[in-house]
C-alpha cells in the first residue's frame, strides 16, 4: 500500500469537499484515480453500482425513452433510427458500420425496458400465490437479510383467520432497527426487479422480505440511491456516539455479501442465518468501504447491538442531510 498516494488523494478530495461549487478543485478531483486500498473489500460492488448508474445515464442521455413508454405506436425501428442518428451526430467521422453497431447495442439494451414500462402494473397476489411463495423455502426467511419469520408472521401472511398479532420486540438493532413499525416483522412480497423500473409480478421476480428491508430497499437498485452522508448518529449507552449508516447501505451490503465473513470460515449465510453489519475496522464507521457482514455468533457487536426500542427512539439523532 502506497500511503503517500492515499494522502495525496485525500488532500485533493478535501479541497473538493471544501469548495463543492468551485470548478478548479472539482476538476482536480475528477483527474484523480481512487487508490485501490480506498475501495475496501467490497470495492467490486461500489464499482459495479456506479458503472451501472453511468450506463443508464448514458443510454437515456442519447434518446429520452419517456415518449416511447407512452406512445405505443412508436416501434423498435423508430427507436433504433433515433438512437443511430443521435450517435452519428455525436461521433462525426466514425465509420457508419461502427455507429450502426453501437446503435444496435444501445437500442437492444433499452428497448426491453420500454416494453416493461408500457405494460407495468402491480397486481394483488391471490392467497394461492402467497402460499406458493411461502412454501418455496423450507424455512422462510427474508431474502435480503436472513431474518427468520415467526409462526404468527406466517399466519398473517397466509391470511389465516384470527391470526394473532406479531409481538413487537423489546429491543432493536440500532444499525437496523427492525420492529419500530408494526409491519417491520411481517413477511412482504418484494419484486427483485422493482415495479418502478419494469419488474413484473411473476413468480421468478418475487421473494419474501421482512417489512423493514422491503421498505428500505424500495425501488433502489444500487448503493448510490441515497445521500452519501450517514443516516444520523446514535448515543449508545455503552459505546458512546456512533454514526448510523444509511439503511439502503445495510440492505444491499448484506444481500450482496450474503455470508458471514469471520476468518474461521463460518458457514452461516443468508439462507440459513440472519446476518448483521459491523465496521470492518472497529475504530471506523460503517460505510460501503468499511463494512463487514457477520452472523450472530461472530458479530463483534453481539453484546452491544440490541438496545431498548425506547432508548433507540430517544438517542437517535437523524441526519439533516
pLDDT by 10s per residue, the chain, length 321: 589 899 999 999 999 989 888 899 999 999 999 888 888 888 899 999 999 989 989 998 999 888 888 888 999 999 999 999 999 999 999 999 999 999 999 999 999 888 877 876 656 788 998 999 999 887 899 999 999 999 999 999 999 999 999 988 999 999 999 999 889 999 999 888 776 666 676 777 888 999 999 999 988 888 988 888 899 999 999 999 999 999 999 999 999 999 999 999 999 999 999 999 999 999 899 999 999 999 999 999 999 999 999 999 999 999 877
Name residue 210's beta-bridge partners.
187
Helix, strand and coil content of the chain, in percent to the nearest 5, comes to 45, 15, 40
Note the pLDDT of residue 191: 84
Note the pLDDT of residue 184: 95
Which residues fall within 8 angstroms of residue 25, CB to CB, at 6 or more apart? 12, 15, 16, 18, 19
How many angstroms separate the CA atoms of 31 and 18, rounded? 17
How many angstroms separate the CA atoms of 188 and 128, rounded? 15
Note the pLDDT of residue 121: 60
Note the pLDDT of residue 243: 94
Q: Nearest-CA neighbor of 288 among 241, 230, 233?
A: 230
How many angstroms separate the CA atoms of 58 and 61, rounded? 5
CB 27 within 8 A of CB 19: no
Note the pLDDT of residue 197: 65
Note the pLDDT of residue 36: 86
Q: Is the dihedral of CA 214, 219, 222, 227 positive or negative?
A: negative
Amino acid at each position: 500500500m502506497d500511503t503517500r498516494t492515499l494522502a495525496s488523494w485525500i488532500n485533493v478530495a478535501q479541497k473538493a469537499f471544501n469548495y463543492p461549487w468551485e470548478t478548479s478543485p472539482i476538476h482536480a478531483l475528477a483527474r484523480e484515480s481512487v487508490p485501490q486500498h480506498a475501495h475496501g473489500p467490497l470495492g467490486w460492488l461500489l464499482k459495479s453500482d456506479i458503472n451501472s448508474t453511468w450506463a443508464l445515464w448514458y443510454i437515456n442521455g442519447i434518446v429520452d425513452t419517456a415518449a416511447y413508454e407512452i406512445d405505443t405506436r412508436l416501434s423498435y425501428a423508430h427507436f433504433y433510427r433515433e438512437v443511430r442518428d443521435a450517435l452519428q451526430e455525436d461521433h462525426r467521422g466514425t465509420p457508419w458500420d461502427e455507429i450502426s453497431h453501437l446503435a444496435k447495442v444501445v437500442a437492444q439494451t433499452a428497448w426491453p425496458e420500454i416494453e416493461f414500462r408500457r405494460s407495468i402494473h402491480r397486481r394483488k397476489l391471490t392467497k394461492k400465490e402467497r402460499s406458493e411463495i411461502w412454501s418455496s423455502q423450507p424455512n422462510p426467511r427474508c431474502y435480503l437479510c436472513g431474518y427468520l419469520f415467526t409462526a404468527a408472521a406466517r399466519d398473517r401472511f397466509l391470511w389465516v383467520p384470527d391470526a394473532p398479532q406479531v409481538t413487537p420486540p423489546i429491543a432493536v438493532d440500532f444499525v437496523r432497527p427492525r420492529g419500530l413499525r408494526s409491519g417491520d416483522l411481517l413477511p412482504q412480497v418484494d419484486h427483485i426487479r422493482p415495479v418502478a423500473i419494469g419488474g413484473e409480478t411473476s413468480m421468478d421476480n418475487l421473494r419474501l422480505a421482512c417489512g423493514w428491508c422491503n421498505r428500505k430497499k424500495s425501488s433502489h437498485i444500487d448503493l448510490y440511491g441515497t445521500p452519501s452522508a450517514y443516516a444520523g448518529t446514535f448515543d449508545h449507552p455503552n459505546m458512546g456516539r456512533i454514526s448510523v449508516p444509511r439503511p439502503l447501505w445495510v440492505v444491499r451490503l448484506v444481500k450482496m455479501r450474503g455470508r458471514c465473513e469471520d476468518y474461521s470460515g463460518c458457514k452461516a449465510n443468508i439462507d440459513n442465518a440472519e446476518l448483521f453489519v459491523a465496521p470492518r475496522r472497529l475504530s471506523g464507521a460503517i460505510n460501503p468501504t468499511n463494512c463487514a457482514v457477520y452472523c450472530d455468533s461472530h458479530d463483534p457487536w453481539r453484546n452491544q447491538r440490541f438496545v431498548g426500542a425506547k432508548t433507540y427512539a430517544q438517542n437517535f439523532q437523524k441526519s439533516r442531510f
